[in-house]
Amino acid sequence: MTSEEARQFLVQKGIPMSKSRLYKLVSSRKIDFHRVSNRLLFYKEEIEVWSKNQITTPRANKNEALESVIQSAQKSC
């Protein structure tokens, strides 16, 4: 996929993505990409894996935070 196709794919998956944000992810190597000459190319499978990780990670953090609050409340009782 081209960078624009990858951006649109991520938006369809529910991940807000501007062109500049996608390029920031590429420059910091936080998203998988491939360079052919001067073009950035993305594999759909790699973008899908990355998008799933973005969606599931906040839930894991939320659960960890909730468990921490519960443990704190139990200690103070």
In the chain, DSSP assigns E strands to 34-36, 39-41
Q: How far, rounded to the nearest angstrom, does the alpha carbon of residue 66 sit from its chain's CA centroid? A: 22
Q: Which residue has the higher pLDDT, 57 or 53?
A: 53
The tens digit of pLDDT for each residue in 5-54 reads: 999 999 998 889 999 999 999 999 999 999 999 899 999 999 999 998 88
Q: What's the pTM value of the predicted model, to 2 decimals?
A: 0.67
Which of 6, 8, 58, 4 is closest to 32 using CA atoms? 6
Structure tokens at 3: 């960078």
Residues 6+ apart with CB under 8 A from 39: 2
Q: In degrees rounded to 5, what are phi and psi of residue 21?
A: -65, -40
